[in-house]
Amino acid sequence: MFLDDVLETTPADRDAPVTRPITAAARPSSAIARGQHRYRSVWISDFHLGTRGCRAERLLDFLAAVRCDILYLVGDIIDAWALKKACYWPATHSAVIQAVLTMHREHGTRVVYVPGNHDEVLRDFLPLDLAGIEVCNECVHDTADGRRYLVVHGDAFDAVCTEARWLAVLGDYAYRGVIVGNSWFNTMRRRLGYPYWSLSAFIKHQVKNAVAVIGRFEEALADEALRRGMDGIICGHIHTPSRKPINGIEYCNDGDWVESCTALTEDFAGQMELLYWGRGADHEMPADNASRQKAAA
- In the complex with Mn ion, the residue whose CB is nearer, 65 or 74, is 74
Instruction: Give the Cα separation of 253 and 151 in Å (integer).
Output: 10
| Count of residues of this chain found to bind Mn ion when the rule CB under 5 A is applied | 5
Q: Which of 58, 123, 237, 239 binds Mn ion (CB under 5 A)?
A: 237
Instruction: Give the Cα separation of 208 and 297 in Å (integer).
Output: 22
Q: Judged by CB under 5 A, does residue 79 bind Mn ion?
A: no
- Contact region with Mn ion (CB under 5 A), list: 52-60, 117-125, 156-164, 278-286: 117-125
Q: Judged by CB under 5 A, does residue 119 bind Mn ion?
A: no
| Beta carbon of residue 238, minimum distance to Mn ion (angstroms, whole number) | 8
Q: Judged by CB under 5 A, does residue 223 bind Mn ion?
A: no
- In the complex with Mn ion, the residue whose CB is nearer, 190 or 237, is 237
- Contact region with Mn ion (CB under 5 A), list: 139-147, 157-165, 213-221, 230-238: 230-238
| Beta carbon of residue 200, minimum distance to Mn ion (angstroms, whole number) | 7
For residue 84, give the H/E element and its range: helix 80-85
- Contact region with Mn ion (CB under 5 A), list: 31-39, 68-76, 80-88, 270-278: 68-76
- In the complex with Mn ion, the residue whose CB is nearer, 68 or 201, is 201
| Beta carbon of residue 286, minimum distance to Mn ion (angstroms, whole number) | 26
- Contact region with Mn ion (CB under 5 A), list: 24-32, 36-44, 106-114, 229-237: 229-237
Give the x-and-dash track for 126-155 against Mn ion (CB under 5 A).
-----------------------------x
Q: Judged by CB under 5 A, does residue 255 bind Mn ion?
A: no
Instruction: Give the Cα separation of 31 and 132 in Å (integer).
Output: 31
Instruction: Give the Cα separation of 169 and 157 in Å (integer).
Output: 17
Q: Which of 42, 47, 51, 76 binds Mn ion (CB under 5 A)?
A: 76
Segments of the chain assigned E as strands: 37-44, 66-73, 110-113, 128-130, 133-135, 139-142, 148-151, 232-235, 242-246, 249-253, 262-266, 272-276
| Beta carbon of residue 157, minimum distance to Mn ion (angstroms, whole number) | 11
Instruction: Give the Cα separation of 253 and 263 in Å (integer).
Output: 9
State the first-to-last Cα distance of the chain, in angstroms, to the nearest integer.
9
- Using only C-alpha atoms, what is the Rg of the chain? 18
Instruction: Give the Cα separation of 133 and 126 in Å (integer).
Output: 12
Instruction: Give the Cα separation of 263 and 65 in Å (integer).
Output: 13
Q: Judged by CB under 5 A, does residue 117 bind Mn ion?
A: yes
Question: Do 100 and 64 touch, CB atoms closer than 8 A?
Answer: no
| Beta carbon of residue 156, minimum distance to Mn ion (angstroms, whole number) | 10
Name the site residues for Mn ion (rule: CB under 5 A).
Answer: 76, 116-117, 155, 237
